[in-house]
Amino acid sequence: MSNLLYLNTENTHSLSKDILKPKIDRDKIKTGIAHIGLSNFHRAHQAYYIHELIEKHDELNFGICGIDLLESDRKIYNILKDQDGLYTLVIKNADGTQEYKIIASIIEYFYGPENPLAAIERLARPDIKIISLTIAEDGYHLNETTGEFNLTHPKVKEDTISKFNPKTVFGYLTQAFMLRKHRGLPGCTILSCDNIKANGATIKKSFYTYVEKTEPSLLPWLKKNTSFPNSMVDRITTVTTTKDIELLKETYNIHDQWPVVCEPFSKWIIEDDFIAGRPDWDKVGIEFVQDIEPYENTKLRILNAGHSILGILGTLNGYKYVHEVANDEHFIFFLESFIKTEVNPNFQNIDQHNLKAYTKEVIERFKNTHINDSLSRICKESSSKIPIFVFPTLKDQITNHQSIEYGTFVIAAWCKYYDGIDDFGHSFDIQDSLSNQLIRTAALSHQNPQLFLEKNAFFKDLVTHDLFQERFKYYLSKLRSTPIKECLVLMNK
Ligand code: CS2
């Protein structure tokens, strides 16, 4: 590996021909989007689409300025700085072939914890027409019980006191828009790209609540000068492993410190409400709709719920990757039955054939044996995922007096998950901001199952539903005495 090339602008000229070099003159690109949260997902999805738009359609006004706000983002910030914002996207097809592409759409980067005022200043500049976000489900700081913005969350509270050294996206946005207002500058669009229900409406409501508390005089200006389209984003993007980094070195002599690995499938549907203009995203396959709800609901309740279900159930069986569980007929049969019996009947305005086809496609994507999507990624922060992905199905079924057997089984398995031991006696890591509470309440549930439901506020009124309680107790006791696979055989009969 004598010719190892460190990925940066200068070295792209010497790259091997096979790898898709960016055909972009980066000096000509102007920044038009500030993106908060340079996650793998952002780099496989939004940054990829912008790259395609620049490369294939000469769109030069919407380059991305990446802004990271979390302490834990220091590493990616340093790497992107080191690599001039370049990184390799590795698309792993189901047939084992791979496509490589060097993505060049991120042209500036800021790191909030190091210099919050610089990041605020950058967000305030009028060339930024869109501020997009991937801050994950827990970045929205929603109250577990009410689902409303949690003004008492410690980080949020800290931001209300220390306004110019914010920790949350709300603190940053408020100060950036204060500057825009004082300088007589225009507003812009805030585009959430996270897997939460009505993501645009949610960030809007939360942001307004925060502003009302901290800078109430800004609110009328915001209402006139910002927009918050809802969007549905989709592309399975895994955690990058050392093997992925090594493979690039061996195959192409490239040393990329943080490539991104994803599946070939990609979708982005957005409500067309961009107050300061937007790129011609339609040219690269992005769809614009009036109402995102049906698209978002099917994705959250089928794909994301399906992921969580395979993640939790599969972990209890000692599996490590999504494709292992998705290729085990017991687990897939269970998932299909859940979707068919308890999820799909609630989509009354969607053609059942389309739902069937969508489910089939999702399961095929899960089966891709080449992307190595780890169950630990799926199960991470389940406490903010399950209430979004699975609870709405349970609630609809309860309202309609229909079956809740599969959904309740999943919740019982989720409780058992916090025992932290699989059916072969191996322990696994639990990564969740509520892990202490979840582990403690799961421990209490050995004596009294009801305590898992009562002591985790996110269950809200599910706790008081008699049939749900009864079935939860039944399945939990079954799961604690019988291996998951045997339980699935019984469920699948
Ligand atoms: C996953 C998602 O985090 C999760 O639980 O379901 O990251 C999923 O891979 C993406 O939403 C796919 O678009």
Pocket of ligand 1 (CB under 6 A): 195, 234-236, 304, 307-308, 378, 385
Ligand 1 atom at shortest distance from the alpha carbon of 377? 3
Q: What is the mean pLDDT of residues 403-419?
A: 98
* Overall average pLDDT of the 75-91 stretch: 97
Q: What is the pLDDT averaged over residues 103-110?
A: 97
Q: Which residue reads 């780890």 in tokens?
A: 374
Residue 1 has pLDDT above 60, yes or no: no
Interface pTM, i.e. ipTM: 0.99
What is the token pair recorded at 162? 């220390």
Residue 470, both tokens: 């009864």
Alpha-carbon span 366 to 303, nearest angstrom: 9
**The pTM of the whole model exceeds 0.90:** yes
Query: If you take atom 13 of ligand 1, which residue's CA is the nearest one?
Result: 234
Write down the pLDDT at residue 387.
Answer: 94
pLDDT at 239: 97
Ligand 1 center–CA 210 separation, angstroms? 28
Nearest protein Cα to ligand 1, atom 4 = 378
Q: Could you read off the pLDDT of 368-382 as tens digits, one per residue? A: 999 999 999 999 999
pLDDT at 14: 84
User: Which pLDDT belongs to residue 445?
Assistant: 98
Question: What type of residue sits at position 410?
Answer: V
Mean pLDDT in the chain? 96
In this prediction, residue 133 carries a pLDDT of: 98
pLDDT at 75: 96
Whole-number Å distance, alpha carbon 309 to ligand 1 midpoint, is: 12
Q: Residue 460 region, left (φ>0) first, then alpha (ψ -120 to 50), else beta?
A: left
Residue nearest (by alpha carbon) to ligand 1 atom 2: 304
Q: How confident is the model at residue 135 (pLDDT cuts 50, 70, 90)?
A: very high
pLDDT for residue 144 is more than 80 = no
Cα gap 310→378, rounded to integer Å? 9
Residue 2 reports pLDDT greater than 80: no
User: Which numbered atom of ligand 1 lies nearest the CA of 234?
Assistant: 13
pLDDT tens-digit readout, 386-408: 999 999 999 999 999 999 999 99
Percent of the chain scoring above 70 in pLDDT: 99
